[in-house]
Amino acid sequence: MKLTGARILMECLREQKVDTIFGYPGGTILNVYDALYDYKEITHILTSHEQGAAHAADGYARSTGKVGVCFATSGPGATNLTTGIATAYMDSSSVVFISCNVPQNLIGRDAFQEVDITGITMPITKSTYLVRDVTKLADTVREAFALARSGRPGPVVIDITRDVTSAECDYEPLPLEQHAATGHLASLIRRAYTSSLKMPEADLDDVEKLVEMIAESKKPMLICGGGVVRSRAHEEFRQFVRRIDAPVAITVMGGGGVSGRDVMTTGMIGMHGSVASNMACDNCDLLIAVGCRFSDRVALKPETFAHQAKIVHVDIDRAEINKNVQTDHHIIGDAKQVLNLLLERLPQYEHKEWKDFVLSFPRETEYGESESVLTPKQVLSTIARKCPQDSIVATDVGQHQMWAIQHLHFDYPGQLLTSGGFGTMGFGLGAAIGAKQGNSDKTVIHITGDGCFRMNGNELATVAYYGLPVITVIFNNRNLGMVRQWQSLIYDHRYSQTSLENRSPDFVKFADAFGLKGRRVTQPSELEEAITEALAESAQGRGYVIDCAINADEMVHPMVNGGHHITEFLLS
């Protein structure tokens, strides 16, 4: 049947079983939005800003395990997506970003709202496509979705010239379940991307070698990274922890890959890692990192990282091996597949003496309690006590992010949504919107700071309009807290441009402007009542904002300065 390019795009999204799109219309993408009007089975969420749409599609993808979809128009619409695209890329989140560009005859002529978005985003995507031929549109969309979800997941950009969206050609439906069976996609993939689409098969000799290394180890330790979460390998990882009887540290992106409540977990590792995690890393004789990038926030000083241990790296992406930390052994493969192969070969081990040593160190930071002054621990403990245990938590970036990861325990993949690699302020509210849209049965809590909330707080309009009951909790210290912490400890209290005193709105009035309720909390006694009210509003399909006043001098403990040995605690 003959269809316009815009309708071919919508039919391809239907093929991919897309049920939600986040986006913002504009001139060049109007043909697509006109076609969307007839596809009532697909929900479109109109955000306040394209960056909010990008983060929402990302949060949807992380929390559901599906591919997120985001629309934007050309020029500033497309460039407003770039921070969200980079955020998804750094954290391996599968999102397809679809923009439309000016007609082909205007490309390269500095036409109104023209930009080379495929060139701009090439370094921060798995692939980019500029579609100039309507006959190639359907296969391009199919390829993009396959690429986004395959191997190490990641974002893909499709830019379609406006004339392609109005041109007609024959369209032949190809249901998603037939894509792999027919081998149709395999013939479409350009040679450069073949390795990205294939799931690497773990080498059995490499697996056997690790089995031998585990048998020889007396003090094994595990790191649960984001790859465990992306692979949804949490059950296999839990069994692996039990089988080799080893303590396990969790990276920021690994939250939910193993339950934070598990007696074997030692908490976060690295710059703000627990004493138990960092001490275990420093004293183990075998370190097995699964789906972990060994970033500079984990391996702060690579040359001394786990210096007494043989280091083993399990990762789906060969490019990560020996990139930051030199390993003694590695296995290339999907976390779920590799863990299953190991479980088939491993006997039961016991390392009681080693575990007792590791677990003698603090696994969670203790912060001072007060009846008159609100502390971060009190806020988070009350959230944990009052909210459902399976609540999804989306954070922004900074002190509140670290406090949340330290004190809230995540039990399953997609329960923690945070910008780990790119550190994007303003990520949280959009991600929470996407998570709520994809998980209507779950309570969704957005934890942010006053600095972060000022960046994308406009998305409260989206929360209010669509009746998305997101609970926003603001850690309001009237400062850019994490930067101030560094200035306190390293820059001799020279607080250059970090004070937000008298620069932020009244956040409760701000919420009210969107028709949402809110409350300012200054004392612990007020907190429980505020959360109870927030949950009641959430049950009625309404968002809520809690503005928590905390001391400007509150700091994240522990802290190891960048470039220093993992046990050189600046704060402990």
Measured CA to CA, the distance from residue 478 to residue 494 in angstroms comes to 16
pLDDT digits (tens, 9 = 90+) for 545-558: 999 999 999 999 99
Strands 286-290 and 220-224: parallel
Domain spans of the chain, in order of start = 2-197, 204-358, 376-556
pLDDT of residue 193: 45
Q: What's the CATH code, domain 204-358?
A: 3.40.50.1220
Q: Which of 397, 495, 404, 422 is nearest to 85 (CA)?
A: 422
Q: Token pair of 479, please?
A: 């400062």
Q: What are 194-211's pLDDT values in tens digits?
A: 444 567 899 999 999 999
What amino acid occupies position 360? S
Q: For the segment 378-426, what is each residue's pLDDT rounded down to a tens digit?
A: 999 999 999 999 999 999 999 999 999 999 999 999 999 999 999 999 9
Task: Identify the pLDDT of residue 135.
Answer: 97
Q: Using an 8 Å Cβ cutoff, are 538 and 469 in contact?
A: yes
Q: Are 363 and 265 in contact (CB under 8 A)?
A: yes
| Residue 442 vs residues 186, 438, 445: alpha-carbon distances, Å | 38, 9, 10
16-39: pLDDT as tens digits: 999 999 999 999 999 999 999 999
Low-confidence ranges of the chain (pLDDT < 50): 181-183, 188-196
Determine the Cα–Cα distance for residues 454 and 192; give it in Å rounded to an integer: 42
- 34/264 Cα distance (integer angstroms): 54
Buried b (16+ CB within 10 A) or exposed e, 498-522: bebeeebeebbebbeebebbbbbbe
Q: Please give the Cα distance from 332 to 433 (Å, whole number).
A: 35
pLDDT at position 185 is 53
**254 and 226 Cβ atoms separated by less than 8 Å:** yes
Instruction: Give the pLDDT confidence score for residue 198 in this predicted structure.
Output: 63
- DSSP 3-state of 394: strand
Task: Give the predicted TM-score (pTM) of the model.
Answer: 0.95
Tell which CATH classification among 2.40.50.140, 3.40.50.970, 3.90.320.10, 3.90.1150.10 matches the domain 376-556: 3.40.50.970
Pairwise CA distance, residues 38 & 463, whole Å: 24
Residue with tokens 């700071």: 449
The correct CATH number of 2-197 out of 3.40.50.2000, 1.50.10.10, 3.40.50.970, 3.40.50.360 is: 3.40.50.970
CA dihedral 568, 570, 571, 572 (to 10 degrees): 10
pLDDT of residue 177: 81
> Is the Cβ–Cβ distance between 427 and 55 less than 8 Å?
yes
Q: Are 253 and 270 in contact (CB under 8 A)?
A: no
Residues 6+ apart with CB under 8 A from 449: 396, 398, 399, 400, 474, 475, 476, 477, 480, 481
Other C-beta atoms within 10 Å of 212: how many? 11
Position 16 scores a pLDDT of: 97
Q: What is the pLDDT of residue 225?
A: 98
Where are the extended beta strands (E) located within 147-296? 156-161, 168-170, 220-224, 248-250, 265-268, 286-290
H helix intervals, 421-468: 427-438, 450-456, 460-465
Distance CA 56, CA 23 (A): 9
Contacts of 181 (CB under 8 A, 6+ apart): none
